[in-house]
């Protein structure tokens, strides 16, 4: 009897020890391998579209000369003036990039509304007793010089450019750019004079042209977050020349004003771009 009781107690103790060991094993910490970190890698290999705005400093180096429209004789010395065609610009752009290591190559086209405009006044000098510009020798028209107002504006422009740049950081691109530019240029004014009967006479004139030229520049573009980048860039544009020869046939003598304008432009603008396609996801 005593032996049986001892066996029962031993069995119970052993079972308790085994249960405690199993419970302790269940409570021990378990370690699992952490998943590899996920890192977004920004790439410039994308199409993009965006908006921009800024300011522009245009220059029009203009020569103007008055002629007798009947005989073709030059009536006054050629006058030279520089018009400041300054104003704001606003527009949009579309482009694409190809990245090769730290180098990025791309093409971009943009279209801009422009508020650039300037004006001047040209005078056909007349002596006090009349002369070649004004043949009147008495009355209210005596000594009054014919004039023309001269207004010029760059109404719009568009550029088609290549871009080549290097990465300052993986998300910041410093680039140079260049290509072709096309612009709409409007020139207008009013020629004023006197008829042979000493009656004031005037005619409004205007000329619109579409000019092709070249453009070069540089800029900095950087990622703002997500698929958005911001940029700031400067462009120099040579828009070629425009010319015209409006006529005031009713003046005495009949007047023709011949002009030629060589137009250049400097643009500084900032913008934002949305790039299609997300960042590359890399696991390490």
User: Alpha-carbon distance 53 to 50, whole Å?
Assistant: 11
Beta bridge partners of 111: 92, 158
Which CATH class for the 41-283 domain? Answer: mainly beta
- Tens-digit pLDDT profile for residues 245-274: 999 999 999 999 999 999 999 999 999 999
Q: Go through the chain and tell me how many residues it has.
A: 284
Residues 6+ apart with CB under 8 A from 283: 36, 37, 38, 39
Question: pTM of the prediction?
Answer: 0.82
Chain-centre distance of CA 263, in angstroms?
A: 17
Q: What's the confidence (pLDDT) of residue 38?
A: 58
- Tens-digit pLDDT profile for residues 159-181: 999 999 999 999 999 999 999 99
Q: Are 164 and 194 in contact (CB under 8 A)?
A: no
- Tens-digit pLDDT profile for residues 33-54: 656 565 678 899 999 999 999 9
The SS3 of residue 144 is coil
User: Alpha-carbon distance 204 to 53, whole Å?
Assistant: 33
Q: Are 167 and 193 in contact (CB under 8 A)?
A: no
Q: Are 105 and 97 in contact (CB under 8 A)?
A: yes
Q: What's the confidence (pLDDT) of residue 2?
A: 45
What residues does each domain of the chain span?
Answer: 41-283
Tell me: pLDDT of 14 over 80: no
């Amino acid at each position: 009897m005593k032996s049986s009781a001892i066996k029962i107690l031993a069995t119970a103790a052993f079972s308790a020890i085994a249960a405690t060991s199993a419970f302790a094993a269940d409570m021990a910490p378990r370690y699992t391998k952490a998943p590899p970190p996920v890192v977004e890698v920004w790439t410039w290999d994308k199409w993009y579209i965006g908006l921009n705005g800024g300011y522009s400093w245009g220059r029009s180096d203009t020569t103007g000369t008055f002629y007798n429209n009947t005989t073709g004789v030059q009536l006054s010395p050629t006058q030279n003036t520089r018009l400041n065609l300054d104003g704001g610009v606003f527009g949009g752009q579309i482009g694409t990039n190809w990245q090769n290591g730290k180098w990025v190559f791309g093409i971009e086209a943009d279209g801009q509304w422009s508020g650039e405009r300037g004006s001047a006044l040209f005078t056909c000098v007349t002596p006090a007793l009349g002369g070649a510009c004004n043949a009147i020798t008495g009355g209210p028209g005596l000594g009054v010089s014919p004039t023309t107002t001269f207004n010029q504006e760059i109404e719009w422009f568009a550029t088609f450019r290549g871009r080549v740049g290097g990465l300052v950081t993986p998300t910041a691109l410093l680039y140079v750019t260049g290509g072709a530019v096309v612009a709409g240029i409007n020139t207008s004014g009013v020629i004023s004079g006197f008829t042979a009967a000493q009656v004031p006479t005037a005619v409004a004139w205007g000329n619109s042209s579409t000019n092709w030229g070249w453009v070069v520049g540089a800029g900095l573009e950087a990622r703002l977050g997500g698929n958005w980048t911001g940029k700031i860039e400067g462009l120099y544009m040579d828009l070629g020349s425009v010319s015209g020869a409006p006529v005031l046939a009713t003046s005495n003598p009949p007047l023709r004003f011949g002009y030629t304008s060589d137009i250049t432009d400097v643009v500084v603008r900032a913008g934002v771009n949305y790039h299609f396609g997300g960042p590359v996801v890399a696991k390490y």
